[in-house]
Amino acid sequence: MERRDFFRKAVAGASVAAAVVSRPALAGLPEPVMRGNADTAAPWLPPGVTGAGRPYRPVVTLNGWSLPFRMKDGVKEFHLVAEPVVREMAPGFHVNMWGYNGQSPGPTIEVVEGDRVRIFVTNRLPEHTTIHWHGQRLPNGMDGVGGLNQKQIPAGKTYVYEFTARRPGTFMYHPHADEMTQMAMGMMGLWITHPRQAHPEIADVDRDYAFLINAFDIDPGSYTPKVNTMLDFNIWSWNSRVFPGISPLVARLGDRVRVRFGNLTMTNHPIHIHGIEFEVTGTDGGPVPRTARWPEVTTDVAVGQMRQIEFIADEPGDWAMHCHKSHHTMGAMGHDVPTLIGVDHRGLVQRIQKLIPDYMVMGERGMADMGEMEMELPENTAPMMTGTGPYGAIEMGGMFTTLKVRADLKPDDYSDPPWYPQPPGTQSFEYAGPAPAADRASAPAAEPAASVRKPTGHGAH
């Protein structure tokens, strides 16, 4: 081609492109797609382009979304922007975090096995960062450990990662630079690689949900997580949301449902679902062979692990789904409150209130009253346990949501249905018959209360 011709064609091409592609795209960098809210986005299928392999059923990220990409010369191009964000963790509870593209966690990246993927990472944080692609097979120089595999990405710079998504499965991404700070501030995201063709160990499902398990240390009334915390986390969240702010998982009666979750907290989480049994069908290491699966209703997820579970939603209702550590279904609270069950405060409270008018008693009949109590909390405090169901306070917060199974849903309907109407005769009810006379006379007498012992060993000097 003549040099003159080339020049003319290049100019013509540029002017045509300018009408449809924005300036950053012409400069080689895809325009970042940002998100301004914590709603659960509808599953996203790329329009008319699936890259390698057959079309797939996209995942639904709880209170999250999948990042659109641009196809360029057969490569799927994504643009992640690491930046400070404000995440609404529950209605009225906003937290200053670090995340990607406007939210924490960052958007889910969904590709197909065999896809060539290029990810531009722009650092708008006040310090350097990197991204590690947890669980992926990739060239060593793309693994994202700052100092080991690459230079740190300085503030204000954009780095490019490029590799082929070789292994189908459930993965995540997070910084491998000042990790303690950056993960405590909410920097993480999901990565799903769909199988290229029918796979013997990967079922086709009707619904496919995904979320990350994360935790923060946020003092009641403050807006920014404490980043040096090792164990004293107090906000237990899924995708940086706490109940009642976590979307329900909705399923049509008989659907095969997959749920994928990864743990980026500093402790393990036994994830429990009521009403059905499931199997762990995969981890971040790959699909579990069918012969190695067993039924469960709870699966523990250790730190840095991912689990992919599947079940048939064959029992209609509103089923609880939660972490089985009961402190993880609570919001911010003091754990140094003494147990007062059985302590009789009658008369005492009034006397103390003469001196301290705001004095109140917590817990002499258990802590259930907290669910309905209208205690004045500092501004911007996570709900402690304020989810309300059709029959009153649910007394849960934190890592809790519901699995809503309905017969009358359409196949791709993800909207939150009204509470389950219990069919007559199928709900627990109050016993109204006569109470039998208690007969304690024949029971052995209780032992006298033990005398108070003086402490021995350390502390008694």
Contact between 282 and 305 under an 8 Å Cβ cutoff? The reply is no
The radius of gyration of the chain from alpha carbons, rounded to an integer in Å, stands at: 27
Q: Which is nearer to Cu ion, 150 or 234 (CB)?
A: 234
- Give the shortest CB-218-to-Cu ion separation in angstroms: 17
Q: Which is nearer to Cu ion, 165 or 188 (CB)?
A: 188
- Give the shortest CB-175-to-Cu ion separation in angstroms: 23
- Give the shortest CB-327-to-Cu ion separation in angstroms: 8
CA atoms of 63 and 61, how far apart (whole Å): 6
Q: Which stretch binds Cu ion (CB under 5 A): 141-149, 319-327, 338-346, 378-386?
A: 319-327
Q: Which is nearer to Cu ion, 85 or 321 (CB)?
A: 321
Q: Is 87 one of the binding residues for Cu ion (CB under 5 A)?
A: no
- Give the shortest CB-323-to-Cu ion separation in angstroms: 3
Q: Which is nearer to Cu ion, 161 or 216 (CB)?
A: 216
Q: Which stretch binds Cu ion (CB under 5 A): 42-50, 298-306, 308-316, 327-335?
A: 327-335
- Give the shortest CB-191-to-Cu ion separation in angstroms: 23
Token pair, residue 386, equals 């304020």
Token pair, residue 343, equals 């302590």
List the 298-301 sheet strands across, edge first. 249-252, 400-406, 317-323, 269-273, 298-301
Q: Which stretch binds Cu ion (CB under 5 A): 21-29, 43-51, 326-334, 339-347?
A: 326-334
Maximum Cα–Cα distance across the chain: 111
Residue from 328, 329, 394, 406 touching Cu ion (CB under 5 A): that is 328
Q: Which is nearer to Cu ion, 202 or 213 (CB)?
A: 213
Q: Is 215 one of the binding residues for Cu ion (CB under 5 A)?
A: no
- Give the shortest CB-325-to-Cu ion separation in angstroms: 4
Q: Which is nearer to Cu ion, 93 or 233 (CB)?
A: 233
Q: Which is nearer to Cu ion, 130 or 263 (CB)?
A: 263
- Give the shortest CB-286-to-Cu ion separation in angstroms: 25
Q: Locate the DSSP E strands across 35-165.
A: 60-61, 70-72, 75-90, 93-100, 109-112, 116-123, 132-134, 158-164
DSSP H stretches of helix in 21-154: 23-26
Q: Is 323 one of the binding residues for Cu ion (CB under 5 A)?
A: yes
Name every residue whose Cβ is closer than 8 Å to that of residue 180 and which is 6 or more positions away in sequence: 227, 228
- Give the shortest CB-269-to-Cu ion separation in angstroms: 3
Pattern 255-274, Cu ion, x by CB under 5 A: --------------x-----
Q: Which is nearer to Cu ion, 81 or 235 (CB)?
A: 235
Token pair, residue 235, equals 């906000």
DSSP H stretches of helix in 63-200: 179-184
- Give the shortest CB-217-to-Cu ion separation in angstroms: 15
Q: Which stretch binds Cu ion (CB under 5 A): 187-195, 299-307, 325-333, 334-342?
A: 325-333
Q: From its phi and psi, is residue 240 left (phi > 0), alpha (psi between -120 and 50) or beta?
A: left
CA atoms of 348 and 357, how far apart (whole Å): 13
CA atoms of 7 and 144, how far apart (whole Å): 39
Q: Which is nearer to Cu ion, 87 or 328 (CB)?
A: 328
Q: Are strands 207-216 and 256-263 parallel, antiparallel or unpaired?
A: parallel
Q: Is 325 one of the binding residues for Cu ion (CB under 5 A)?
A: yes
Backbone angles phi, psi at 283, to 5 degrees: -130, -175
* Binding positions for Cu ion, rule: CB under 5 A: 269, 323, 325, 328
